[in-house]
Amino acid sequence: MNKAKPTVLKIGGSVITDKNGELEARTDVIDRLAGEIERAAIKRLVVIHGGGSFGHTKAQQYGIKDGLKDPSQLAKFAETHHVMTVLNGLLMDSLIWHNVPAVSVTPSSVIMTKEGRITTFDETVMRKLLEMKMTPVMYGDAVLDSEIGFTILSGDQLTATLATLLEAERIVIGVDVDGLFDGDPKAEKTTKLFEHLTVDELRKLQGKLGKSTACDVTGGMFGKMAELLYAVERGIPATIVNASEPDNVYLALRGERVRGTTIGEK
Amino acid sequence: MNKAKPTVLKIGGSVITDKNGELEARTDVIDRLAGEIERAAIKRLVVIHGGGSFGHTKAQQYGIKDGLKDPSQLAKFAETHHVMTVLNGLLMDSLIWHNVPAVSVTPSSVIMTKEGRITTFDETVMRKLLEMKMTPVMYGDAVLDSEIGFTILSGDQLTATLATLLEAERIVIGVDVDGLFDGDPKAEKTTKLFEHLTVDELRKLQGKLGKSTACDVTGGMFGKMAELLYAVERGIPATIVNASEPDNVYLALRGERVRGTTIGEK
């Protein structure tokens, strides 16, 4: 593989879907983000997106994450994966419309987990796409699991694993808040944004603020960071920005100054 | 893997799309076929479909089959793959609606070719899906090629390779004619249908009737059989039926008597 290190962009499911509706995509946001990706013109880029009201809703409804318990769930697993391909298709449509050479690499076709953790990952095609300067796109997906039959692979675990595997230059994470705060910015007004955190500072804050998703005072953000830690501990810096606001993803991809939280070097 | 051998069903692109229009799917036919697959209730089934007016049209327009010649083709390769995922999505929608636990395995995510012939094929997920009694679905696709950058993988090559790899019990091929004729049934009225051919007979007829697609007097059918030969020579019988007519695919899947051409042992 060519030496140039790829950038990994993760777009949160809550950015591109409406969590209040079922199977409601924000096609205007998808189109704006595809445009920002086009303008940023990053030669080696991997895009990963979450499931939002597509994947999460179905997965929860059918208990896919906890594995196969009843044969009637097989068709439900199939349906959960299928709705993710539909959401992915909307982003692919938009990226191709914007002339980005984006090729979807289906997570459930190349990845298997064991009790929810990635064990098999055939990244042959992924590497070849990057070498050819195309943009592989992956997503949180319903995947097969060697121990429990099937489960849900989060876009966050995928992002950290892939960034590490590909020795990414950096990770850009687009969410629906401005970054990491010392509280929940959606619930409180006096929360403070962390502009820069070292790996050590992130670890300490996680213990303090985000012990579990259930009692995470930061609205789930520090909980999500647990997955990301795997990559930043291995020297891959991450920038978290608000992708619901125009231009932030563009600026972060270009490495320009942008409101948000940077973790690790730089 | 469990010992039960899978059946491989190939559905021709000309059956599920309108070759006269661009990107025109025959959703009524897709829905009828999904219903026949549901009724047949084959425990271990792999479904493969062609590209018809989706894949073929784009591939030809952009010269994808001949490989990468100009960087501007990268976005065109991406587009060609994308339209195939759209056609696949319509079939998946319909299969899931019919309660078939169908899971799409993206060919370009798991297969690479060398000068158009499959060299890499990670079938881990495919085997696991069959073991779990789910129905993997693949399709003719735009894939990466280690020698020429990218190319088109035909549903026919995929069918023969996969059937051989999985030691399939048999192959059912649904096309838009009644089987193999000694002439072109669409152009002539006096052509005779071959109801049964041994592998040797097929080989001899191929030399006589279908030397190349360009001068194939059978309307391309014997030319297509060149790919299939690989599997039937290895002891996997194939039945060719008219999938544009109701019930033929159902009957062939159930192993019941049906008008068509059978090749190799029964």
Going along chain B from its start, the domains and CATH numbers come out as 7-263 (3.40.1160.10)
**A132·B75 Cβ contact <8 A:** no
CA separation (Å) from B15 to A60, A86, B25, B26? 37, 23, 9, 8
| pLDDT at residue number B129 | 98
For residue A149, give the chain B residue with the closest CA. B132
| pLDDT at residue number A212 | 47
Contacts of B105 in chain A (CB under 8 A): 106, 108-109
Whether pLDDT at A217 is above 60: no
A26: which 2 tokens?
């924000």
Q: Which of A77, A78, A103 sits opposite B81 (nearest CB)?
A: A103
**A106·B103 Cβ contact <8 A:** no
Between residues B186 and A109, which one has the greater pLDDT?
A109
**A92·B82 Cβ contact <8 A:** yes
| pLDDT at residue number A1 | 43
In chain B, which residues touch A (CB < 8 A)?
A: 68, 71, 74-75, 77-79, 81-82, 85-86, 89, 92-93, 95-96, 99-106, 108-110, 112, 120, 122, 124-125, 128-129, 132-134, 144, 146, 149-150
When pLDDT is cut at 50, 70 and 90, the band that residue A211 belongs to is low
Neighbours of B16 (CB within 10 A): 28
Residuewise pLDDT in 10s, chain B (266 residues): 446 899 999 999 999 999 887 889 999 999 999 999 999 999 999 999 999 889 888 898 999 999 999 999 999 999 999 999 999 999 999 999 999 999 999 999 999 999 999 999 999 999 999 999 999 999 999 999 999 999 999 999 999 999 999 999 999 999 999 999 887 777 777 789 999 999 999 888 877 765 544 445 555 777 678 899 999 999 999 999 999 999 999 999 999 999 999 999 65
Whether pLDDT at A45 is above 80: yes
Sign (positive/negative) of CA torsion A212, A83, B144, B62? negative
CB contact set of A76 (below 8 Å; sequence gap of 6+): A58, A62, A64
**A106·B106 Cβ contact <8 A:** yes
| pLDDT at residue number B145 | 98
Query: Mean pLDDT lowest for which of A95-99, A210-214, B11-15?
Result: A210-214
CA separation (Å) from B48 to A60, B16, B261? 30, 12, 19
Whether pLDDT at A2 is above 60: no
Query: Mean pLDDT lowest for which of A14-28, A138-152, B109-123, B213-227?
Result: B213-227
| pLDDT at residue number A69 | 96
Whether pLDDT at A215 is above 50: no
**A104·B81 Cβ contact <8 A:** yes
For residue A91, give the chain B residue with the closest CA. B82
DSSP state of B6: P
| pLDDT at residue number A29 | 98
Q: Which of B79, B122, B133 sits opposite A110 (nearest CB)?
A: B122
Contacts of B96 in chain A (CB under 8 A): 75, 78-79, 82
Amino acid residing at B234: R
Contacts of B122 in chain A (CB under 8 A): 110, 122, 124
| pLDDT at residue number A3 | 63
For residues B247 and B18, the answer to whether their CB atoms sit within 8 Å is no
Three-point CA angle A80, A44, A221, nearest 5°? 50
**A89·B86 Cβ contact <8 A:** yes
**A82·B96 Cβ contact <8 A:** yes
Cβ-based contacts under 8 A for chains A and B:
118
Q: Which of B74, B86, B112 sits opposite A128 (nearest CB)?
A: B112
Identify the CA nearest to A202 among candidates A227, A184, A185, A178.
A227
How close B100 comes to chain A (CA, Å)?
6
| pLDDT at residue number B55 | 87
| pLDDT at residue number B21 | 79
Q: Which of B100, B101, B104 sits opposite A85 (nearest CB)?
A: B104
Share of chain A above pLDDT 90, in %: 77
**B110·A109 Cβ contact <8 A:** yes
For residue A99, give the chain B residue with the closest CA. B75
CB contact set of A256 (below 8 Å; sequence gap of 6+): none
For residue A101, give the chain B residue with the closest CA. B75
| pLDDT at residue number A20 | 82
Share of chain A above pLDDT 70, in %: 93
Tell me the C-alpha distance between B80 and A256, whole Å: 34
Q: What is the ipTM of this complex?
A: 0.93
For residue A100, give the chain B residue with the closest CA. B75
| pLDDT at residue number B165 | 95
Contacts of A77 in chain B (CB under 8 A): 101, 103, 134
| pLDDT at residue number B2 | 46
| pLDDT at residue number A185 | 78
